[in-house]
């Protein structure tokens, strides 16, 4: 259940999915993991102030190219070239980022108060010891606000980023996730009033008591057998784009941690899976085995090893060819109401391997 960074170009792992657009099937490998897909998170306050973070392929953006089509050579050139040149091009990219980001809507634009991007030194340091070192996913932090009286939240991102997975969060509400296509605005979401927020807070305080359900816990052998079955179900469903089965295996608060430390929430992951299905990103082989497991009180920590084979593009020959990846994960499974569900995935290692037979 991994997430790769960028096939042939070096996909970063995340968990069972992603790199998902039509061109991605060749240019970035249609893979099982959220590779270089930009992820934006907006925390919107009642007064219209917004804390926005955008994690994206920063080298592709500096080169003014989409993540799906950018080649490795020029990105490696930025990393291995002059630090002064990289910083100068980063400064120019920051200007383009500012010009390409909009909030509030075309008829009611908000205000970008500040944008902070990593420095050239921070970009270089982030790849030290990383294999593969591309893509370089870094985070921009933005402070902004809607105009006074604005009742709806909307965002638009620089087109060169490609599709962006946006999660918008209001106080005391579950985040809403969606895919924002290049050139499009995100959906309009109503900003709650202070009275609505106060009512929700009061309701939460009133219902803090939880009822514990006591159930017979499975043995280690039972747990291992059942969880391996879940891995097999995931592999089959993932290859056939059976989203209902995939979502049933995950808990609502499922979180993925990629090899480079980024996190992807359940809702963001769901958007990526749906996009992958729409773009017909097909994985030809998917296997997961349990390396070892620790079980306690209905919670299993599993070291799993995943092998996937996906369509890829040989950048030297320009020909399509399969590429296989091995990912090692620590998966946290919880036993609830008689079944096992996956709560979190933490990527430990990723590497390109020779395609297994079969």
Backbone Cα Rg of the chain: 21
DSSP classification of residue 31: B
Nearest to 254 by CA among 273, 237, 269, 239: 269
Q: Facing residues of 189 across strands?
A: 153
Nearest to 61 by CA among 5, 6, 135: 135
State the Cα–Cα distance between residues 140 and 38, nearest whole angstrom: 11
Token code pair at residue 284 = 């030809």
CATH level 2 (architecture), domain 220-353: Roll (3.10)
Question: pTM above the 0.85 mark?
Answer: no
Domain edges within the chain: 36-202, 220-353
State the Cα–Cα distance between residues 212 and 228, nearest whole angstrom: 27
Helix (H, G, I), strand (E, B) or coil at 53: strand
Q: What is the pLDDT along the chain (358 residues), one digit of tens a residue?
A: 644 434 333 333 333 333 333 333 333 333 333 458 899 999 999 999 999 999 999 999 999 999 888 899 999 999 999 999 999 999 999 999 999 999 998 989 999 999 999 999 999 999 998 778 889 999 999 999 999 999 999 999 999 999 999 999 999 888 899 999 999 999 999 999 999 988 888 887 776 544 344 457 899 999 999 999 999 999 999 999 999 999 999 999 999 998 888 899 999 999 999 988 888 778 889 999 999 999 988 899 999 999 998 887 666 666 778 888 899 999 999 998 889 999 999 999 888 887 555 4
């Amino acid at each position: 259940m991994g997430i790769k960074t960028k096939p042939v170009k070096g996909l970063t792992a995340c968990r069972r999915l992603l790199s998902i657009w039509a061109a991605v099937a060749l240019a970035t490998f249609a893979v099982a993991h959220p590779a270089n897909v930009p992820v934006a998170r907006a925390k919107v306050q009642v007064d219209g102030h917004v804390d926005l973070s955008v994690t994206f392929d920063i080298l592709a953006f500096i080169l003014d190219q989409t993540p799906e089509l950018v080649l490795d050579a020029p990105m490696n050139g930025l990393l291995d070239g002059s630090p002064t040149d990289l910083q100068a091009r980063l400064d120019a990219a920051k200007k383009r980022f500012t010009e390409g980001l909009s909030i509030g809507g075309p008829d009611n634009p908000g205000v970008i108060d500040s944008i902070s991007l990593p420095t050239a030194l921070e970009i270089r340091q982030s790849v030290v010891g990383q294999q593969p070192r591309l893509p370089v996913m870094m985070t921009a932090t933005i402070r902004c606000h809607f105009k006074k009286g604005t009742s709806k939240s909307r965002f638009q991102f620089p087109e060169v980023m490609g599709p962006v997975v946006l999660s918008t969060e209001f106080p005391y509400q579950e985040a809403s996730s969606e895919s924002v296509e290049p050139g499009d605005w995100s959906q309009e979401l109503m900003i709650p009033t202070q009275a609505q927020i106060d009512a929700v807070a009061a309701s939460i305080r009133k219902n803090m008591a939880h009822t514990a359900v006591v159930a017979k816990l499975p043995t280690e052998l039972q747990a291992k057998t059942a969880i391996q079955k879940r891995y097999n179900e995931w592999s089959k469903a993932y290859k056939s784009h059976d989203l209902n089965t995939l979502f049933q295996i995950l808990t609502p608060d499922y979180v993925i941690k990629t090899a480079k430390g980024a996190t992807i929430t359940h809702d963001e992951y769901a958007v990526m899976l749906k996009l992958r299905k729409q773009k017909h990103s097909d994985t030809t082989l998917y296997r997961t085995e349990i390396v070892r497991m620790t079980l306690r009180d209905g919670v299993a920590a599993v070291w799993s090893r995943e092998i996937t084979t996906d369509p890829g593009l040989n950048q030297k020959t320009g020909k399509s060819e399969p590429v296989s990846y091995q990912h090692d994960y620590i998966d946290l499974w919880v036993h609830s109401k008689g079944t096992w569900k996956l709560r979190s995935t933490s990527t430990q290692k990723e590497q390109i391997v020779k395609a297994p037979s079969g």
